[in-house]
Amino acid sequence: AQSVTQPDIHITVSEGASLELRCNYSYGATPYLFWYVQSPGQGLQLLLKYFSGDTLVQGIKGFEAEFKRSQSSFNLRKPSVHWSDAAEYFCAVGASRGNQFYFGTGTSLTVIP
Amino acid sequence: DVKVTQSSRYLVKRTGEKVFLECVQDMDHENMFWYRQDPGLGLRLIYFSYDVKMKEKGDIPEGYSVSREKKERFSLILESASTNQTSMYLCASSTLGNPTGSYGYTFGSGTRLTVV
């Protein structure tokens, strides 16, 4: 069965520091992988996605993610965090049946000045 | 700007009421989804639809039903609201788009439902 694990429930970083949010997935075939961000009281916004090809994908707001098949991981990174990046981040994997996605439980990011 | 619109941002309903949550998308997407979001549990799929008048159960369909009479509209119905259905409800849509698969979901802003 498909599943997504985000092992970090909450992360705190200083503004300007680098960031890495972890995501591990379980999937039988080549996955479609996504990262979404949710600001307080808002819906989810797509940050980036991976379907195939180059394993390092660039997204919006300066984020990037690297697909590592051997580790079943799709970690999200940003070299320098801004206070506006404080939000909830969700990793998702696409299922083989239609477009059903499976989401991780999310990582809450706090940015301190 | 394309979007998914959920009719209410906040709703307060009484236990036992029948509740309708409406979702409309203007992107001509084939697929529409309803999720509920709870702290520590992430997003859980309630129902989804691949086409008009089609629906499929997700992971937690109990206590819910859906209606999709038109391609752009997907309604979630709480037949008899209970306090454990207090949650954030998120609607999303997607399209197959190209042969390699999905472009991902477009989400609405969510409806925070409180059942008292």
Q: Which residues contact B98 (CB under 8 A, 6 or more apart)?
A: none
Tell me how far apart the alpha carbons of residues B65 and A66 are, in angstroms, rounded to a whole number: 38
Is B42 at the interface with chain A, CB within 8 A?
yes
Domains, chain B, in order of start with CATH, read 4-97+105-115 (2.60.40.10)
What does DSSP assign to residue A55?
S
pLDDT at residue B103 greater than cutoff 80: no
Q: Give the distance, in angstroms, between the CA of residue B40 and the centroid of all CA atoms in the same chain.
A: 19
Going by their DSSP bridges, the two strands B10-13 and B111-115 should be labelled as parallel
Inter-chain touch A99–B31, beta carbons under 8 Å: yes
Q: What pLDDT score was predicted for residue B100?
A: 41
Give per-residue pLDDT as tens, B17-56: 999 999 999 988 888 999 999 988 889 999 999 889 889 9
Q: Please state the separation of Cα A69 from the chain's center in Å.
A: 15
Top-ranked range on mean pLDDT: pick from A3-7, B1-5, B98-102: A3-7
Question: A85 pLDDT exceeds 60?
Answer: yes
Q: What rounded mean pLDDT belongs to chain B?
A: 89
pLDDT of A43: 84
**CA separation for the pair A50, A32 (Å, rounded):** 6
Chain B: give the shortest CA distance to residue A2, in Å.
12
Burial class (CB in 10 A: 0-12, 13-18, 19+), A108: middle
Given the structure tokens 């970690």, which residue do they identify? A75
Contact list, A103 vs chain B (CB under 8 Å):
35, 42-43
Contact A98, B50 (CB under 8 A): yes
Nearest CA-CA distance, residue A102 and chain B, Å: 8
Of A5 and B94, the one with more pLDDT = A5
- Coarse DSSP helix, strand, coil percentages of chain A, rounded to the nearest 5 percent: 10, 50, 40
Q: How far is CA A7 from CA A20, A47, B32, B93, in A?
A: 12, 19, 29, 27
Domains of chain A in sequence order: 3-77+99-112 (2.60.40.10)
